[in-house]
Structure 1
């Protein structure tokens, strides 16, 4: 079973840049999207009729944030925002239960310029995420994916020294990832590619960053260590365009 995650930076815009064809070229069983930017509008026709089960979770603010799950298989159940009213309003989390695992799709808040949202991120969001994932994992393995808005290690960013205190590469955010991985979870891309360099999933639109591969690895599949026998492969589709992010994947035994 192939799982795919992609921050599309506006689904309608991405649809005009080959979104449907890109998804079909990879042919995943489940697609997780972040930053759909749907607002209160109804979802567009994705051109992916084979994904009969399409769940959209939009922010209250039009054109902001938002997540979606497109699946060939109907989930057993779906929950939004950790099931916690404190985290509602921005459309950031969808958890779907399947027969053999939970799939949690998240668009983690960016800490923003001047790190205005760093306290919220580290004091509220990240602890709640760990608690939720650990709770789910008591009954089934968990696959946690999405734009997690952190480059965990220096190997995950093209220019670590220049970005040390920038959002997404602060010591605090990286420490939160340490805590998550220390709670019984694994960064699956690093599991399969521990020493791979220059493998990124996001590039600034400025100064030809993507062409020069000046990027960050911000998109992940984090998995319960207990399910490691089920993992087959993890990849980054950096050749797929259409957004400032590219898709990432995890293939598991069904």
Structure 2
């Protein structure tokens, strides 16, 4: 099974940059998209509903903001638009597809870089989300939680880690939370099951020449339940084309 996750930083902008020309060539089974920045009423063009897929969108109430989507070749048995937390769901940050033996989530975690208020909301979500993640780790079915988690886990996951230790996305509390997910809860970072190398980034600031100099962060993940840990076969961060300030992350599983 091939799963792609990508933050498109505006799905209409990504379309103009060739995202929907690239996507069919990937032949992915599931595609998780974050930061659509659009209402479904603005996505009536068939390009936003690729024929090979069942396509689902979960919009933010605020226009031009946040939003997630999930495309799947196989029709889900059930869908959850939101996680049951009002402050999360009104921003369109969680979409879950149930395929029976497998559940896939498109997740867009808050960024705290804009203000202390937003960072506090991010911490609140991390606290509220953790019990759900503990439950997932013990579930009988396999889970893949895809998306922009807005946290670089370790120093290897961003270029300038020393100067970013007091910045949102690499705060000690955020990294400790990720430690809890992997070391205590038992969830798995699919990418690191296969690729242990440095300078493997999925996001680059639009400031300066971050992309040209590969001054990036790895903040996009596919996080799985323990049963899939040994089933990760290949991983790829696609950088041959740029559809947004993030790069698509592709993971192939033996499922």
* TM-score normalised by L of structure 1: 0.93
Report which stretch shifted further, 110-119 or 4-13: 110-119
Distance in 2 between residues matched to 1:218 and 1:71, nearest whole Å = 23
Q: Which residue in the other structure is 1:191 paired with?
A: 193
CA contact 1:102–1:136 (8 Å) conserved in 2: no
Q: How does 1:80-159 map to 2 (within 5 A)?
A: 80-122=81-123, 124-137=124-137, 138-159=139-160
Deviation at 1:45, TM superposition (A): 2.7
Q: Which residue in the other structure is 2:55 paired with?
A: 54
Distance in 2 between residues matched to 1:40 and 1:2, nearest whole Å = 26
Report which stretch shifted further, 82-91 or 159-168: 82-91
CA contact 1:115–1:166 (8 Å) conserved in 2: no
Q: Which residue in the other structure is 2:14 paired with?
A: 14
Distance in 2 between residues matched to 1:69 and 1:51, nearest whole Å = 13
Query: What runs of 5+ residues in structure 1 fail to find an aligned partner?
Result: none
Distance in 2 between residues matched to 1:40 and 1:55, nearest whole Å = 9
Q: How big is each residue's C-alpha offset from its partner over 1:61-82, in whole Å with a ceiling of 9 and x where there is no partner?
A: 0000000001111011111221
Distance in 2 between residues matched to 1:28 and 1:153, nearest whole Å = 29
Tell me, yes or no, if structure 1 residue 177 matches structure 2 residue 204. no
CA contact 1:5–1:249 (8 Å) conserved in 2: yes
Distance in 2 between residues matched to 1:75 and 1:203, nearest whole Å = 33
Residues 172 and 253 of structure 1: CA distance in aligned 2, closer, same or farther (over 3 Å): same
Distance in 2 between residues matched to 1:114 and 1:50, nearest whole Å = 40
Secondary structure of 1:152's counterpart equals coil
Secondary structure of 2:164's counterpart equals coil
Q: Which residue in the other structure is 1:246 paired with?
A: 247
Q: Which residue in the other structure is 2:76 paired with?
A: 75
Query: What runs of 5+ residues in structure 2 fail to find an aligned partner?
Result: none
Q: Which residue in the other structure is 2:5 paired with?
A: 5
Q: Which residue in the other structure is 2:227 paired with?
A: 226
Residues 166 and 86 of structure 1: CA distance in aligned 2, closer, same or farther (over 3 Å): closer
Distance in 1 between residues matched to 2:99 and 2:150, nearest whole Å = 26
Secondary structure of 1:83's counterpart equals coil
CA contact 2:190–2:229 (8 Å) conserved in 1: no
Aligned length: 252
Q: Which residue in the other structure is 1:25 paired with?
A: 25
What RMSD over aligned residues (CA atoms) do the two structures have, in Å? 1.7
* TM-score normalised by L of structure 2: 0.92
Deviation at 1:177, TM superposition (A): 1.0
Residues 59 and 48 of structure 1: CA distance in aligned 2, closer, same or farther (over 3 Å): closer
CA contact 2:152–2:218 (8 Å) conserved in 1: yes
